[in-house]
Amino acid sequence: MDLDSHIRRIPDFPKPGILFYDISTLLHNAAAWAAAVERMSGLVADWKPDLVAGIESRGFLFAAPVSIALGTGMVMVRKVGKLPGTVVSHSYDLEYGSDTLQVSDGLVPRGARVVLIDDLIATGGTARATVQLLQKIGAEVAGAAFLIELDGLGGAARMGVEVRRALTYPA
Ligand code: AMP
């Protein structure tokens, strides 16, 4: 399956100069979507995770079916204020300001092997913060996988864990 042909390019979104890789068209095509999930599952299977972590929100789309395919549970890593109950937070710097990610307290046992999944890695800021949050709660982050890596931004090198991707595009 040629996954690339199902990813739509939207120039100047969300701001001028950004070429947005839109997975809506991939999700919309039954065969392409199934192939993408199979590809992502294949990328992470040999890491033998206990849990698959998805980053809000497009990361959830991939993490959920991959966790079912691998027979693991799934963990939601969310933006601040979305998770009920006791949470663990991690703040990280953005180009302008900062942001915070949260995970529910007590759902990831210390020492659990966790694999992180998101749709796309650009600078790697969000994914790196997620790795740090998971490590903070005692998880062993086995690796991170993305459908798309934007090359040349140094995102993968910044992660501190092994990174795998299905597709690579120029930034
Ligand atoms: P970053 O923290 O810089 O790696 O940004 C990662 C997040 O921003 C990913 O979860 C993507 O969903 C989104 N993103 C950044 N750049 C793009 C792009 N060119 N096309 C689509 N999504 C993007």
Of 138, 134, 128, nearest in space to 160 by CA:
128
* pTM greater than 0.75: yes
Active site residue 95: yes
Residue with token string 């079916």: 65
Is 118 close to ligand 1, i.e. is its CB under 6 Å away? Answer: yes
CA 118 to centroid of ligand 1, rounded, Å: 9
Please enumerate in sequence order all residues whose Cβ is within 8 A of that of 152, keeping only pairs 6 or more positions apart, or say none.
Answer: 170, 171
CA–CA gap between residue 171 and residue 168 (Å, rounded): 9
3-state helix, strand, coil in the chain (%, to 5): 30, 35, 35
Model confidence pLDDT, tens digit, residues 70-125: 999 999 999 999 999 999 999 999 878 899 999 999 999 999 999 999 999 999 99
For residue 12, the 8-state DSSP code is: T
Model confidence pLDDT, tens digit, residues 26-81: 999 999 999 999 999 999 999 999 999 999 999 999 999 999 999 999 999 999 99
Is 126 close to ligand 1, i.e. is its CB under 6 Å away? Answer: yes
Model confidence pLDDT, tens digit, residues 113-165: 999 999 999 999 999 999 999 999 999 999 999 999 999 999 999 999 999 99
Active site residue 56: no
Residue with token string 């996954």: 3
